[in-house]
Amino acid sequence: MKNWIPAATGLVAGALAATVFFADFSSGPSGSATNENANKTNAEKVYVPYGEHDDYYMLSSGGHSGQLFVYGVPSMRKLRTVPVFTPDPATGYGFDDATKKMLGGFTWGDFHHPAISETDAEYDGKFVFANDVANNRIAAVDLKTFHTADIMSMPNMGGPHAGTFVTQNTEYIVMPTRFSRPLGGDYASLDQFEEKYKGIVSMVKFDQETKKFDLGYQIMLPPWSYDLSDAGKKVSGDWIVMTTYNTEFATTNLEINASQNDRDYIVLLNWKELEKKVADGQYEEINGAKVIDPTKVKGSIYAIPVAKSPHGVDFTPDGTRFIASGKLAPLMTVFSFEKAMEAVKNEDFTDEKFGIPVLPYDKVMEREVDPPGALGPLHTQYDDKGNAYNTMFISSEVIKWKIDTGEIIDRTPIHYSPGHSSAAEGDTASPDGNWLVSLNKIAKDAFLSVGPSHPESMELIDISNDKMELVYTNPVDPEPHYAQIIKADKIKTIPIYEKDEKRPNSVWSQEDTRIERKGNEVHVYGIAMRSKFIFDAKSKRPDELTVKQGDKVFIHLTNIDLDQDITHGFGIMDYNLNYEVQPGQTNTLEFTADKAGTFPIYCTNFCSALHQEMSGYLLVEPK
């Protein structure tokens, strides 16, 4: 009966010993996840030590550089410049065959507004779309590789400034024109502006499998200028809103003449309704585009008067309201989508312009917010607590206010003249409410001087508390307009291009390398590997390429180093040619060997040890 005593004592002693040896005596969770920034200094908030990564990517437009700038937030470190509309010798973009064709001879673009692809009104991190205001193009950057996947030209447009905005499931990328223009860019005297000039909205589709654009349809609008737009969310998901200016139809000195009317318009468009009608064949084919006149489709277009020359118009995260920024009228106007729909239902129209029913401002407007002394509101972003953030270009500040009441919560000075701002996941259905980056036009005295023209600047603002806190300022090349900030884990990049033996023109082993001549065309099927080029493994000098003057040369090069970051470049001296092959990639360089002589070839992208030795010769025999 007393047997249990030693057994029990043993068990107790064992448990005790285990507790002593293995127990965790630290004071429980540190709570760092709950309010990470609460006790940090500003310097600590932006410091991301080696071995850790930023929480967010910021995809920023590069303006007239035609590039995409990729930043990390909160460190504000620039991660990469991605060429989109502009050739880039550093990556061979616009030099190799595929990207050269894609650029179509253009050497610049003007990229204003990035739009990350969305699913259920949330960024899905698959693609980012870009507008070229200068040359009427749209581009898609694949976020698996951060390479531009496709570029498409859009006919009938006058600069898609009011894009790029995606509908909530990326059904369409909305690209409204800035300048009105005769269709097809035809000649027409400016005296015929009202009759001959048109404002066009391109509704672009993108196939995520083939990575190709397709112009869905175009909407023909009055010759107003369209400034910015946004697609609705949830209840307003079928609708697009756009701001207009120059409803005066000024054809000269727009600064003065397009600023005369006290009211311009916000245009509301039902893209779903129009899509149906286009599918039913209710369109006119103009210069290869299916163009629909919305005034002929009842219920598809309305206008709402809005304070003078507005810039941004942005749907709230829940999609029930949209907020216009006055620009020339120093106020933000909150419109109710539901009230607009009610006016539509009751056919409560005050007027008609170009066949577009005009909704009553007083009934659709919910609130005007006019912070004292605030001038030049441009653009609205949101947090997760029902607040809106507006950049004020002229009074150089960001204003935080409550959407429900219009109450001003805080104001913070900006250095200087902010255009757009971007909040973390700030134009999705669920903003994160921790960071806001103000994209500023003027830096002036903020940094060491680099001459008369200064860099632009970005300012990081902590918005996690009622009071905003300006945390960090950094310089940036010209010129970000809008940016989007997406959670880092939503973007899934590939480490290398997969080996694909069926890929056209690819070669994966030294024995298969060869040079083939077809008439005056010379095709090189070569490989780049550390640390050599092999054009023909069987020849006396595998890295020598001899052609005749006037030959058309195609260098198909595959990088067979399937090792992350081992990128090889390929430059030809005096031929103004350079391109690259990333690990596992095949790229073709095409040129005419019109200069006779001896031209060294070398690896331009520092690949690995003995990169300096990675070279060869192009010999062009004179005619």
Task: Rank residues 11 and 610 by Cβ distance to another protein and give the closer one.
Answer: 610
Q: Are 623 and 594 in contact (CB under 8 A)?
A: no
Task: Rank residues 303 and 529 by Cβ distance to another protein and give the closer one.
Answer: 529
CB of 565 to another protein, least distance (A): 9
Task: Rank residues 126 and 568 by Cβ distance to another protein and give the closer one.
Answer: 568
456-462 and 469-476 as β-strands: parallel, antiparallel, unpaired? antiparallel
The CA-CA-CA angle for residues 181, 170, 284, to 5°, reads: 40
CB of 605 to another protein, least distance (A): 16
Angstrom distance (rounded) from CA 180 to CA 223: 5
Angstrom distance (rounded) from CA 87 to CA 91: 9
Task: Rank residues 407 and 613 by Cβ distance to another protein and give the closer one.
Answer: 613
Q: Are 199 and 219 in contact (CB under 8 A)?
A: no
Of 202, 209, 193, which is closest to residue 258 (Cα–Cα)? Answer: 193
CB of 559 to another protein, least distance (A): 11
DSSP assignment of 293-309 equals: -GGGSTTSEEEEEEESS
Amino acid letter, residue 570: F
- With H, G, I as helix, E, B as strand and everything else as coil, classify residue 371: coil
Q: Which residue has the tokens 């200028």?
A: 225
586-592 and 597-602 as β-strands: parallel, antiparallel, unpaired? unpaired
Of 49, 32, 74, which is closest to residue 436 (Cα–Cα)? Answer: 74
Angstrom distance (rounded) from CA 543 to CA 157: 48
CB of 492 to another protein, least distance (A): 18
Angstrom distance (rounded) from CA 173 to CA 204: 5
586-592 and 544-548 as β-strands: parallel, antiparallel, unpaired? unpaired
Amino acid letter, residue 335: F
DSSP assignment of 23-76 equals: ---S-S---TTTSTTTT--HHHHH---TT---SEEEEEE-BTT-EEEEEEETT-
Task: Rank residues 38 and 610 by Cβ distance to another protein and give the closer one.
Answer: 610
Task: Rank residues 160 and 542 by Cβ distance to another protein and give the closer one.
Answer: 542
Task: Rank residues 466 and 565 by Cβ distance to another protein and give the closer one.
Answer: 565
Task: Rank residues 188 and 562 by Cβ distance to another protein and give the closer one.
Answer: 562
Task: Rank residues 122 and 563 by Cβ distance to another protein and give the closer one.
Answer: 563
CB-based contacts of 569, cutoff 8 Å, min separation 6 = 92, 578, 579, 580, 603, 604, 605, 607
The CA-CA-CA angle for residues 411, 312, 46, to 5°, reads: 50
Task: Rank residues 436 and 566 by Cβ distance to another protein and give the closer one.
Answer: 566
Task: Rank residues 488 and 496 by Cβ distance to another protein and give the closer one.
Answer: 496
Task: Rank residues 107 and 564 by Cβ distance to another protein and give the closer one.
Answer: 564
Binding site for another protein (CB under 8 A): 529-530, 561-563, 566, 609-610, 613
CB of 543 to another protein, least distance (A): 15
CB-based contacts of 51, cutoff 8 Å, min separation 6 = none
- With H, G, I as helix, E, B as strand and everything else as coil, classify residue 593: coil
CB atoms within 10 A of CB 151: 22
Rg (CA), the chain: 29
Of 577, 584, 623, which is closest to residue 604 (Cα–Cα)? Answer: 577
Of 507, 243, 487, which is closest to residue 377 (Cα–Cα)? Answer: 243
Angstrom distance (rounded) from CA 493 to CA 425: 19
CB of 610 to another protein, least distance (A): 6
Task: Rank residues 593 and 607 by Cβ distance to another protein and give the closer one.
Answer: 607
Angstrom distance (rounded) from CA 110 to CA 157: 14
Task: Rank residues 286 and 562 by Cβ distance to another protein and give the closer one.
Answer: 562
CB of 91 to another protein, least distance (A): 21
Tokens of 528: 């780049």
Task: Rank residues 51 and 622 by Cβ distance to another protein and give the closer one.
Answer: 51
Angstrom distance (rounded) from CA 347 to CA 343: 6
521-529 and 552-559 as β-strands: parallel, antiparallel, unpaired? parallel
Q: 212: number of CA atoms within 13 Å, CB side?
A: 2
- Phi then psi for residue 228, to 5 deg, are -145, 165
CB of 531 to another protein, least distance (A): 8
CB of 495 to another protein, least distance (A): 11
